[in-house]
Amino acid sequence: MGVQEQYRDYVMTGFVKRVEPVVADHGDGAYLYDADGTEYIDCFAGISVTNAGHHNQQILDAAIAQANKLVHACSYVYHVESVGALAEKLAEITPGTLQKSFFGNGGAEAIEGAFRLAKRYSGKREFLAVESSFHGRSFATLSVTGNSGRKKGGGPYMPGVAFVPTPYCYRCFAETTPDKCDMLCARRVAEVARLHTSADVCAFIAEPVMGEGGIIVPPDDYFKRVKEILDEMDILFIADEVQSGFGRTGKMFAIEHYGVVPDIMTLAKGIADGWPLSAFIAKPEIADAFQIGDHLSTFGGNPVSCAAALANIDFLMDGVVDDAARKGDALMARFRELQKTQPLIGDVRGKGLMVGVELIADPATKAYGTAAAGFVRQYCLDHGVLIGVGGNFGSVLRIQPPLVIDDAQLDSVFATVVDGLEAFAKQ
Ligand SMILES: Cc1ncc(COP(=O)(O)O)c(C=O)c1O
Per-residue H/E/C for 399-415: ECCCCCCCHHHHHHHHH
Please tell me whether residues 181 and 124 are part of one structural domain.
yes
Query: Is the entire prediction scored with pTM above 0.85?
Result: yes
| Cα-based distances in Å from 407 to 132, 327, 336, 356, 392 | 32, 7, 18, 18, 31
Please tell me whether residues 51 and 182 are part of one structural domain.
no
* Domain extent for 406: 3-56+319-426
> Ligand 1 pocket: which of 50, 210, 269 to mutate (most atoms <8 Å of CB)?
269
Please tell me whether residues 421 and 277 are part of one structural domain.
no
Please tell me whether residues 294 and 377 are part of one structural domain.
no
Mark which of 273, 296, 315 sits at the end of a domain: 315
Name the DSSP letter for residue 318. I
129/139 Cα distance (integer angstroms): 15
Cα angle 168, 169, 170; round to 5: 95
**CATH label of the domain that carries residue 52:** 3.90.1150.10
Mark which of 266, 287, 315 sits at the end of a domain: 315
CB–CB of 413/385 below 8 Å? yes
**CATH label of the domain that carries residue 287:** 3.40.640.10
186/226 Cα distance (integer angstroms): 5
Please tell me whether residues 71 and 173 are part of one structural domain.
yes
Identify residue 56 by its one-letter amino acid code: N
Query: Which pLDDT value is given to residue 378?
Result: 97
Cis peptide before 156 (omega within 30 of 0): yes
Q: What is the CA radius of gyration of the chain?
A: 21
- φ, ψ at 40 (rounded to 5°): -120, 140
* pLDDT tens, the chain, 427 aa long: 999 999 989 998 876 667 888 999 999 999 999 999 999 999 999 999 999 999 999 999 999 999 999 999 999 999 999 999 999 999 999 999 999 999 999 999 999 999 999 999 999 999 999 999 999 999 999 999 998 888 888 899 999 999 999 999 999 988 888 788 999 999 999 999 999 999 999 999 999 999 999 999 999 999 999 999 999 999 999 999 999 999 999 999 999 999 999 999 999 999 999 999 999 999 999 999 999 989 999 999 999 999 999 999 999 999 999 999 999 999 999 999 999 999 999 999 999 999 999 999 999 999 999 999 999 999 999 999 999 999 999 999 999 999 999 999 999 999 999 999 999 999 9
CB–CB of 213/166 below 8 Å? yes
Please tell me whether residues 295 and 400 are part of one structural domain.
no
| Cα-based distances in Å from 267 to 26, 274, 281, 356, 363 | 26, 13, 8, 21, 37
Q: SS3 of 301, please?
A: coil
| Cα-based distances in Å from 173 to 170, 204, 363 | 9, 20, 18
Query: Which pLDDT value is given to residue 16?
Result: 67
Asked if residue 268 has its Cβ within 6 Å of ligand 1, the reply is: yes
What is the chain's percent helix, strand, coil content, to nearest 5?
40, 20, 40
Q: Whose CA is nearest to atom 2 of ligand 1?
A: 135
Give per-residue pLDDT as tens, 272-328.
Answer: 999 999 999 999 999 999 999 899 999 999 999 999 999 999 999 999 999 999 999
What's CA 394's distance to the chain center, in Å? 16
Please tell me whether residues 52 and 63 are part of one structural domain.
no
Please tell me whether residues 242 and 337 are part of one structural domain.
no
Name the DSSP letter for residue 250. S
Cα of 41 from ligand 1 centre, angstroms = 23
**What is the DSSP pairing of strand 39-42 with strand 385-386?**
parallel
Please tell me whether residues 129 and 198 are part of one structural domain.
yes
Count of domains forming the chain: 2
Provide the greatest CA pair distance for the chain. Answer: 64
Q: Give the burial class of 257: count Cβ atoms within 10 A of its Cβ; 0-12 exposed, 13-18 middle, 19 or more buried.
A: buried
How far the first Cα of the chain sits from its last, in Å, is 37
Mark which of 315, 349, 384 sits at the end of a domain: 315
Cα of 331 from ligand 1 centre, angstroms = 25
Query: Which pLDDT value is given to residue 170?
Result: 96
Q: HSE on the CB side for 405, CA within 13 Å?
A: 38
Asked if residue 134 has its Cβ within 6 Å of ligand 1, the reply is: yes
Query: Which pLDDT value is given to residue 178?
Result: 78
CB–CB of 60/285 below 8 Å? no
| Cα-based distances in Å from 127 to 166, 224, 229 | 16, 19, 14
332/339 Cα distance (integer angstroms): 10
Please tell me whether residues 16 and 154 are part of one structural domain.
no
> Ligand 1 pocket: which of 15, 135, 139, 278 to mutate (most atoms <8 Å of CB)?
135
Please tell me whether residues 299 and 336 are part of one structural domain.
no
| Cα-based distances in Å from 97 to 88, 117, 123, 260 | 12, 17, 22, 11
Cα of 108 from ligand 1 centre, angstroms = 6
Give per-residue pLDDT as tens, 10-37.
Answer: 998 876 667 888 999 999 999 999 999 9
245/267 Cα distance (integer angstroms): 7
Identify residue 303 by its one-letter amino acid code: P
Provide the Cα torsion 277, 257, 171, 367; round to 10°. Answer: -60
Q: SS3 of 203, please?
A: strand
**What is the DSSP pairing of strand 201-206 with strand 236-240?**
parallel
> Ligand 1 pocket: which of 50, 109, 141, 243 to mutate (most atoms <8 Å of CB)?
243
Please tell me whether residues 116 and 134 are part of one structural domain.
yes
